[in-house]
């Protein structure tokens, strides 16, 4: 069995797909998730712009929306996402046209479910993300999503906070989006990020927590309902749950 090891980027995945498409007994995986099997032959894939572009061009020719589907699948935070994307790509090329509506096919079922999980989490964080006010009036929002959704939620906040400088920090993936009210920059954040709290932040945090306590009925706890509306994994950075 051949194991194609990528660097985790989209272009490297398409480069691996160039060779893996016809290799029916293979695995495509990023280096950070590499788990070798008995008899496996490791093939480390270097991004090849030409091969990547050729595969992407073929995918787009089959279905102009398919690259978006594959991109979303590759944002999943779980093992096997590359194989899900490869299975979808193979079916797409084999059929020569859109396959999204073939919901009885295992490859489509799996691909659309993984895609849905990414878009659903991105949608949730447009409402669940909480900003604190740092020194100089810069807003800071740390979060730790299951999937790589930072770039997906950025347009929402750039529109909603159009003239407000902010930092959205994906703690688990150690990257952040820096917005100055006009331009946005994505950076890696290998070191711990410390944002000094602004003078008004404690006041507003206390105000928010007091509001939360005032609308809560102590005699009628509704923890189970809360977990249904907002899963526990989103509570870590919510001021009302501190």
pTM score? 0.87
3-class secondary-structure state, position 231: coil
Is the model's pLDDT at 64 over the cut of 70?
yes
Of 79, 101, 71, 97, whose CA–CA distance to 9 is shortest? 71
- Mean per-residue pLDDT, 71-97: 95
Q: What is the DSSP string of 196-226?
A: PBPTTHHHHHHHHHHHHHHH--TTS--HHHH
Is the model's pLDDT at 225 over the cut of 70?
yes
Among 13-17, 146-150, 187-191, 201-205, name the one with the lowest average pLDDT.
201-205
Between 129 and 238, residue with greater pLDDT: 129
Q: Report the C-alpha gap between 21 and 162 in whole angstroms.
A: 43
pLDDT score recorded for residue 242: 65
pLDDT score recorded for residue 111: 97
pLDDT digits (tens, 9 = 90+) for 175-200: 999 999 999 999 998 777 777 777 78
- Structure tokens belonging to residue 33: 């998730």
- Residues 129/152, Cβ–Cβ less than 8 Å: no
State the alpha helices, DSSP H only, in the chain.
10-20, 49-62, 66-73, 81-95, 106-128, 150-160, 201-215, 223-229
The alpha carbon of residue 2 and the mean position of all alpha carbons in its chain are separated, in whole angstroms, by: 27
Contacts of 14 (CB under 8 A, 6+ apart): 51, 52, 53, 55, 56
């Amino acid at each position: 069995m051949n194991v194609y090891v990528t660097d985790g980027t989209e272009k490297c995945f398409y480069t691996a797909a160039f060779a893996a498409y016809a290799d029916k007994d293979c695995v495509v995986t990023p280096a950070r998730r590499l788990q070798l099997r008995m008899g496996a032959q490791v093939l480390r894939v270097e991004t090849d712009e030409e091969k990547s572009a050729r595969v992407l061009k073929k995918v787009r020719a089959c279905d102009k929306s398919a690259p978006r589907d594959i991109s979303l699948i590759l944002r999943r935070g779980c093992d096997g996402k590359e194989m899900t994307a490869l299975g979808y790509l193979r079916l797409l090329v084999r059929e020569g046209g859109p396959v999204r509506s073939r919901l009885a096919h295992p490859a489509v079922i799996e691909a659309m479910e993984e895609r849905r999980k990414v878009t659903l989490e991105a949608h949730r964080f447009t409402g669940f993300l909480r900003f604190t006010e740092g020194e100089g009036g810069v807003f800071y929002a740390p979060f730790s999503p299951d999937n790589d959704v930072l770039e997906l939620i950025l347009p929402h906040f750039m529109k909603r906070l159009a003239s407000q400088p902010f930092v959205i920090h994906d703690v688990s993936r150690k990257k952040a989006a820096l917005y100055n009210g006009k331009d946005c920059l994505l950076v890696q954040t290998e070191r711990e990020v410390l944002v000094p709290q602004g003078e008004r932040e404690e006041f507003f945090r206390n105000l928010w927590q007091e509001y939360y306590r005032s609308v809560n009925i102590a005699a009628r706890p509704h923890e189970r309902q809360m977990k249904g509306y907002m899963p526990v994994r989103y509570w870590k950075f919510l001021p009302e749950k501190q």
